[in-house]
């Protein structure tokens, strides 16, 4: 579904719903018509009340760190169930969300306007979707936003036709998608928690207008390294906090910075199931504001991207605060009105690291920050691959112990009632196995290794992970019985 929102001078006035189109264009009982003969608004959807205000406010920056031009960012909104007796209209059925959230991708544009009280005009073009595919939708909105601003409604209609003509995404396949003159070769993950590796991208012949991507990962531009320059030596602590389901408050000077950083951190969790909430760009107008930001301890696993200095005060009791950007120069530190909204770039945390840093990689990152854009891209790719491998390594001792919980053929025959279930997970037995075989992760000591896994077994991620393993094992065992 796509929507266009425009914000005018104060008092805030929001126009939403210039064009709303859902996918697919035909009902399940009606064969799809060729696009040239199908009515362009055959599946029109209105932006209902629960999405209208939050998506409008989330589509625009809530800080003053942006002067003139365009930038893209994203947000995540909880989609509540329809209350009994509530009427949303008679439009076509809405797409079913996988996780109960709607994802928004916005291209915000600010231009000079002498006729305006403020002296400028602000417009956001927004794509709303139930698919958590940041790389794909950043590409779409980056093309749609400027094209719409230059050519108006016909470009938006063309984009809607492109979107409506697409087939449903099939997990584990490559989809070829046409969009406003560009062919996008998109690798679809097998599941939302599947790790997508750059090696999966084929190196076949491509046209000049072709784009290849892994849809579930963070966009590669700008290089993620530029946002983490002030916290390079702390990245290993940040990774540990993410996999241990610790809550993180992520400050940035713009929604563009926070949303990219949050998507990147969320990706590092794979293949561990997502146990917490994440908000690439969060505002005080979000319907979950009071439940996520309050005097109580923050929710486990919450990644909250913010730009408003209000959150620095409201979340001062949070244990971990990541402020994006480059280290401030002496001049920037002394300037009354610094370049960053909220906390200064850096890492403030109560966490004490369990694993050792990769000093060779750290050196590469530091050199890349002083080098070319190409060096930053290469280092950013190496950084993601490094932490992907660490997340995989975290699970090795658990998967090793899990093998001992799978019933043997003789056990299955003697006890048919429980033949397709794992034996109960024993913490004590797991730590015996861990002590005997160790972990591929470079822990500082054996005691740190045990402490780390003790914490992980108490995290909500472990419960989800073991439940997924149970499902997989049951499926395999039932298939061979």
| pLDDT (tens digit per residue) in 395-442 | 999 999 999 998 876 665 566 555 668 899 999 999 999 999 999 999
pLDDT tens-digit readout, 226-285: 999 999 999 999 999 999 999 999 999 999 999 999 999 999 999 999 999 999 999 999
Examine the pLDDT at 297 and tell me if it is beyond 80.
yes
Work out the mean pLDDT of the chain and round it to a whole number: 83
| Mean pLDDT in residue range 361-375 | 96
pLDDT tens-digit readout, 128-171: 999 999 999 999 999 998 888 888 888 888 888 888 888 888 99
Stated pTM of the model? 0.87
Q: State residue 156's pLDDT score.
A: 84
Examine the pLDDT at 21 and tell me if it is beyond 50.
no
Higher pLDDT among residues 83 and 8, named by residue: 83
Considering only CA atoms, which of 180, 98, 103, 106 is closest in space to residue 143? 180
Q: State residue 223's pLDDT score.
A: 95
Q: State residue 46's pLDDT score.
A: 55
Q: State residue 323's pLDDT score.
A: 96
Question: What domains are defined for the chain?
Answer: 2-31+41-84+92-168 (no CATH), 224-386 (3.40.50), 393-480 (no CATH)
Residue 286 CA to residue 292 CA, distance in Å, equals 10
Q: State residue 24's pLDDT score.
A: 37
Examine the pLDDT at 2 and tell me if it is beyond 60.
no
Band of residue 448 on the pLDDT scale cut at 50, 70, 90? very high
Examine the pLDDT at 367 and tell me if it is beyond 70.
yes
Examine the pLDDT at 384 and tell me if it is beyond 70.
yes
């Amino acid at each position: 579904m796509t929507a266009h929102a425009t914000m005018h001078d104060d008092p805030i006035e929001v126009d939403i719903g210039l064009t709303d189109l859902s996918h697919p264009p035909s009902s399940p009982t009606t064969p799809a018509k060729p696009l040239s003969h199908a009515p362009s608004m055959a599946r029109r959807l209105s932006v209902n009340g629960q999405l209208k205000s939050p998506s409008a406010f989330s589509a625009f920056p809530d800080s003053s760190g942006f002067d003139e031009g365009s930038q893209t960012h994203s947000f995540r909104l909880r989609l509540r169930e329809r209350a009994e007796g509530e009427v949303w209209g008679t439009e076509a059925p809405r797409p079913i969300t996988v996780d109960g959230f709607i994802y928004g991708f916005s291209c915000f544009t600010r231009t000079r306007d002498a006729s305006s009280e403020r002296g400028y005009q602000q417009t956001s073009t927004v794509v709303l979707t139930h698919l958590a595919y940041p790389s794909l939708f950043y590409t779409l909105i980056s093309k749609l936003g400027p094209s719409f601003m230059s050519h108006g409604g016909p470009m938006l209609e063309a984009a809607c036709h492109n979107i409506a003509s697409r087939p449903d995404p099939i997990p584990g396949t490559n989809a070829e998608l046409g969009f406003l003159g560009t062919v996008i070769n998109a690798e679809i993950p097998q599941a939302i928690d599947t790790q997508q590796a750059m090696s999966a991208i084929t190196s076949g012949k491509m046209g000049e207008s072709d784009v290849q991507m892994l849809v579930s990962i963070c966009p590669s531009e700008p290089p993620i390294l530029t946002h983490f320059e002030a916290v390079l030596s702390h990245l290993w602590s940040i990774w540990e906090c993410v996999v241990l389901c610790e809550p993180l408050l992520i400050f940035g000077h713009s929604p563009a910075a926070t949303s990219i950083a949050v998507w990147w951190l969320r990706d590092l969790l794979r293949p561990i199931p997502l146990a917490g909430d994440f908000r690439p760009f969060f505002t005080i107008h979000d319907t979950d504001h009071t439940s996520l930001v309050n005097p109580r301890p923050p929710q486990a696993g919450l990644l909250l991207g913010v730009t408003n200095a209000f959150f620095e005060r409201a979340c001062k009791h949070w244990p971990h605060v990541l402020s994006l950007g480059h280290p401030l120069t002496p001049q920037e530190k002394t300037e009354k009105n610094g370049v960053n909204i909220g906390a200064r770039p850096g890492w403030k945390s109560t966490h004490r690291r369990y694993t050792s840093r990769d000093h060779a990689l750290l050196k590469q990152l530091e050199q890349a920050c002083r080098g070319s854009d190409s060096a930053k891209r290469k280092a950013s790719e190496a950084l993601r691959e490094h932490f992907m491998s660490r997340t995989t390594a975290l699970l090795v001792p658990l998967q090793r112990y899990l093998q001992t919980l799978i019933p043997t053929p003789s056990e299955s025959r003697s006890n048919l009632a429980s033949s397709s279930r794992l034996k109960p997970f024993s913490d004590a037995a797991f730590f015996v196995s861990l002590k005997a075989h160790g972990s591929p992760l470079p822990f500082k000591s054996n005691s740190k290794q045990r402490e780390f896994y003790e914490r992980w077994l108490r995290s909500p991620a472990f419960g989800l992970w073991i439940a997924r393993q149970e499902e997989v094992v049951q499926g395999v065992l039932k298939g061979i019985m």
